Structure 1
Amino acid sequence: MMLSLNNLQNVIYNPRIPYVGTISEQLRPGSLIVIRGHVPSDVDRFQVDLQCGSSVKPRADVAFHFNPRFKRSNCIVCNTLTNEKWGWEEITYEMPFQKEKSFEIVVMVLKDKFQVAVNGKHTLLYAHRISPEKIDTLGIYGTVNIHSVGFSFSSDLQGAQASALGLTELNQENVQKPGISHLSLPFKARLNSSMGPGRTVVIKGEVKTDAKGFSVDLMAGKSKDIALHLNPRLKTQAFVRNSFLQGAWGEEERSSTCFPFSPGMYFEMIIYCDVRGFKVAVNGVHSVEYKHRFQDLGSIDMLEIDGHIHLLEVRSW
């Protein structure tokens, strides 16, 4: 249901490198590969390859070659090998790996691309050049220590039907049209049961590639007060939080350890209400907290979402 890095399947511990192993199930949109390890001090490079078979001669196609390099310029090179020929390199110069430091790589399979996060931070996107259905082998090579490799084969992600569960949509034009792949914006809905400690709202979407930002508002329908206004702004990389009470905006809160959104990326945002405030996590990583300024939690019964995203799913429970 949620982006979960805890209940992984088929976990392999301390594999010897080079490691070449069969992936037990087909990778579909929503599948995750989680690799935890440590970069040795004498590292030159290492690579994670999602392969179509394990043949060495001729060499199996590599749908996704993920290759951190530590000599000269620190970078990650991504590529695809087809019929023993490399395609064009896609190079990421923001380097999340450090010598003598541990890491966690999460590769998420999406419908049209791979999305990679390292240590909980979005790192890169790589558009499919070979269909992920053809991938059946994971290869890890080079100078690296791997502690564990695990998989999650849940595939409820980016299904054909956009859905709102636990809410009643108020902009009715897009309700239950078969095959609609995202919900129309602005999205307005009534929570089927109002806010309170223990209540959760989950928003799944994709940030548009040219996005400036988007907003999520939890409101009290009667008074039109906005108890929680979440407004990620991509240009300034600020995750702004605020409240609109008695006709006026309060003071913005902007501090966060790391801005979790990036153009083109898929996200699952979890808003959890507890007694003291709201907690927000993005893609399984805690992002911000917001102390309640609006105390009458039971009257918060509306959700509005707007901005530069494709909205795929909203759930509340």
Structure 2
Amino acid sequence: MLSSSTDVVALARQEAFKDFSFFDEETVPVNIHKPILLQLLKATSAIILTGYIPENASRFSVNLICKAVGNIALHFNPRLDRGYIVRNTRVRGFWENEETCSSAGSNGCIFRRNTYVHLMIFCTNDAFQIAVNGEHFCAFYYRLPLDDVTALEVNGSIQDVRIRQHNLFIYPDPNISRPFRILVLTTEEPLVDFLEIPITVDIGSKFCVGARLFIVGRLKLLPHSFYINLQKGKTIYPHPIILLHLNPRFLYGNSEPYVVMNYWNNGTWGHEERHQGQLSWMPGRDFVLIIRCEYEGYTIWLANKMIGEFKHKLESSNADTLRISGDVVLYQLSMSYT
């Protein structure tokens, strides 16, 4: 018989470690009761953190703190007791507008009690890219300069924390990432299985004039935003060429939702176009979104109503990948030609 509850916890942690397939031998144990100094962060910097989430865990946070007192560049806060994750920045001791998202991943909830977790924070030119257990999970765009970050702070219900810092030149890192299922979208039949968000899909036919892309799904109950990219290439870093970036954003109060459209080429975004007005986006409701490739550009339809258009900036047939991420649930993807 185990002598105390301490022994029970220790045994549970040992068993969880045996099931942990992302242990990183180069990480080192750290004392989470004080800030952990970091090397200067820049684009290509990566921070890897592993730790144990105990059986009674409610929430924990990982903060990138800055040299100015009271500033936090990234607050990443899984709340297991609420089933969602908060991302935010703190400036001069005051929190800014938080971003929230579900903690669901392709294998259920990505943060589970009595398990070890592998967390990677990768720095690009404009955002922190965050991967959990080898899978890209979300991005958080910089609100404070990256080179202001001096230390890592860990709080809450997480134990046996180990970290390391290094540089990556491809993200997601193929040496860490799970082998992912290759989904190919063609005109032959719709995709209805394995549509977990975020999702990256091969476009099996040229996306040229006459192409129609149908996206059937449901908006989550507390949406912040989601995006759809028609792009060339699958990596997040180096940044792929994006022929169409479609980004619905949802606000509350008296503000109407709106859609941002843009493209990325030669290392930069183009001129952002905003399409505002009543778009009939309802949290928790199903939708059918259609992207049509026309001679002069793309037209975007929500059911039978056109909600915007975007002139071609790049050759549409170069698109070989569809990527969707954010606060939506997907039911079906299909493509046709007229």
Q: Normalising to structure 1: TM-score of the pair?
A: 0.47
